[in-house]
Chain A
Amino acid sequence: MKFKSTGILPGFGLTMGFTLAYLSLIVLIPLAALILKSTTLTWAQFVQEVTSPRVMASYKLTFGASLVGALINSVFGVIVAWVLVRYEFPGKKLVDAMVDLPFALPTAVAGITLTALYAPTGWIGRLLEPLGIPVAYTPLGVVVALTFIGLPFVVRTLQPVLESLDPEMEKAAVSLGAGRWYTVTRVILPTLAPAWITGSSLAFARAVGEYGSVVFIAGNMPMKTEITPLLIITKLEQYDYAGATSIGVVMLVISFTLLLAINWLQSRTGVHRIH
């Protein structure tokens, strides 16, 4: 890949400069401040702070539940996007608009609603409780909330790709003797892979940082259903700024590493896009 584009449109310097300035102002400077603040601790204090059992448990829950939520979305998001792109049905516009609701709804509202529904006395919780599947105030509840907020990412990134998918390619597969399942798994899904990974990783990233919708349904029991963002808030409320920023830095590093890995994975699946 060439570093500098030699397109007919001028302005590489201008746009690159703007991009760097903007990123610095909005992203890099706050992040630097975060890291700076955490350095008020000694290394030993820092390690102790970020590896205490309660914090470790919260990492596990946050990243684990986010991953599960993203995986669920990656499956159902494809189906939702597929239905919205490929079929005509009454109320399609409505369903299409509904997909964006998790974007628009204040997360606290979502959290309270989900809690009311999944609590042992709620509409859905009432049905699940006798089956021995408590949802509210368990890690499962965290997964439910994180799945809810992540859905639009997968659907919205896949939709345009599905729309531009050449139907002739499917016909070609059929003409070569491929059955439906073979066509879907070998032709359609691999073509979707780059967008799919992007959507799922966006859902994952969003879930890792999610706070509002989770704190209501999680119940926030230390060691069990306490997510890392909540822990950070708790520390802030106790004026433990260094502790809060230390955990923040760890989350930052983990998230960044994961996103980098995902990007790398995506660039590998996207080889055919080179022109």
Chain B
Amino acid sequence: MSIEVRGLCKHYNGFKAVHNVSAKLETGSLTALLGPSGSGKSTLLRMIAGLEVPDSGEIHLTGREATFASAKERNVGFVFQHYALFKHMTVFENIAFGLRVRKQGERGIQDRVFELLKLIQLTGYEKRYPSQLSGGQRQRVAVARALAPRPEVLLLDEPFGALDAKVREELREWILRLHEETNMTTLFVTHDQQEAMEVAGRILIMNHGEIEQDGTPIEIFDQPATHFIAQFVGESNFIDTEVSEKGLAVWGPFRFSVAPSLPVGKKIRIYFRPNDVYMTAQFETLQVRARIAKTRFKGTTIEYKLDIGEDKYISAQIPKGVALASGFKEGGEVYAAITAFHVFPIDAEG
């Protein structure tokens, strides 16, 4: 089932929670809705599920208008951040809820619930109560409960937000496998860009109630469409400077080529990722001399704070192996070049 929203708006007392959002998700796609808290991503998800009513705009499910359809008619499965399991019901009854609502036969309910228990690897837990389960188990029960009535769309609202890193990782894998098996149109909300990049084939980035970019993880990472995305996705250095002559900006010893259309004197902000800094112990070419001011170990990489003079610093990330082989030391002299960067005129954001 495909999902399409057109010009969707939802305001709360003048606050634009969701403003003029349009997007189309194809059948069988796995999409992440990424944004900081308060960006309207949950509200958008809830409107698609029929848990919130939009002020204006349209929602189409498989080409059918469903803006005001009841949650039941939409046939959408919804997973809540804090599980929202029915505390007074056993795992079995929780999963069976959607089937009982649809007045299915007891035999069919039994079969479906046990099938799902197997899928979520909780066979034998059917008589437990939610309070007797761990966070990860609860979330899996919540997913099973949403899947039980065989929805055509699965919507997940920060499904792993309340779990610890290890369990999160496992559930992420699990959701990916689940999607491969069922090929159900899936849309999940997250504020964790790592999660969005790893799981989703496509990412919609929301900020202040609007979608700022819609693309594959690679597009979003390498070609951020706005200021906000450049600093929100991945780690970034950002430096403020201005166009010093046609097609060129200078910041400290670094020179950046910019679009020739930008007028001289225009204030700009330049973003570049720490791993796009090419750093060597010996001068190679087009590099700037720098001093390692600080070293921070980050697991697979090492981050260096580089002093490039004039009280200016940039951060560089080097794979651990390369860094150790090159013998970088705090206080030592190195040569650095910025291999990729993005330029945004500053007034665009106001």
Contact = CB atoms under 8 A, between A and B. Distances in A.
Interface of A: 166, 168-169, 171-179, 182, 186-187, 190-191, 193, 269, 271-275
Interface stretch (B33-41, B75-83, B171-179): B75-83
B290 interface: no
Given A271-B129, A274-B129, A175 B71 contact: yes
A187 B101 CA distance: 12
A74 B20 CA distance: 47
B101 A177 contact: yes
B334 interface: no
Nearest to B93: A186
Interface in B113-149: 129-132, 142, 145-146, 148-149
A115 B131 CA distance: 50
A272 B88 contact: yes
A171 B84 contact: yes
B50 interface: yes
A176 B94 CA distance: 11
A190 B93 CA distance: 13
B101 A172 contact: no
A174 B129 contact: no
A182 B130 CA distance: 21
Contact of A166 (B46, B84, B102): B84
B26 to A, nearest CB: 23
A204 to B, nearest CB: 23
Nearest to A178: B101
Interface in B83-114: 84-89, 97-98, 101-102
B51 interface: yes
Given A191-B88, A193-B88, A177 B149 contact: yes
17 contacts: A166-B82, A172-B80, A172-B142, A174-B50, A174-B51, A174-B71, A175-B76, A176-B71, A177-B71, A177-B98, A178-B72, A186-B97, A191-B86, A191-B88, A271-B129, A272-B88, A275-B131
A172 B86 contact: yes
Chain B interface category by residue count = 20 to 34
Contact of A176 (B88, B98, B131): B98
Given A174-B71, A176-B146, 11 more contacts: A166-B84, A169-B87, A172-B78, A172-B86, A173-B86, A175-B78, A176-B98, A176-B149, A177-B72, A177-B98, A269-B88
A171 B86 CA distance: 11
Contacts of A272: 87-89, 129-131
Contacts of B302: none
Contact of A168 (B71, B77, B84, B97): B84
Q: Please report whether the interface of chain A is mostly helix, strand, loop or mixed according to DSSP.
A: helix
B49 interface: yes
B131 A169 contact: no
A175 to B, nearest CB: 4
- Which of B50, B70, B72, B142 has most chain A Cβ within 10 Å? B72
A171 B80 contact: yes
Which 8 pairs show the lowest CB-CB distances between chains A and B?
A: A177-B72, A176-B98, A168-B84, A175-B78, A172-B84, A272-B129, A177-B101, A190-B88
Contacts of A172: 78, 80, 84-86, 142, 145
A187 B85 CA distance: 10
A176 B97 contact: yes
A183 to B, nearest CB: 9
A271 B130 CA distance: 11
Contacts of A169: 84-87
B104 to A, nearest CB: 11
Given A166-B82, A272-B87, A272-B131, A175 B102 contact: no
Contact of B101 (A166, A176, A274): A176
B75 to A, nearest CB: 8
B51 A273 contact: no
A38 to B, nearest CB: 43
B194 to A, nearest CB: 25
Nearest to B76: A175
Contacts of A176: 71, 97-98, 101, 145-146, 148-149
Interface string B138-170: 000010011011000000000000000000000
Contact of A175 (B49, B82, B86): B49
Contacts of A275: 131
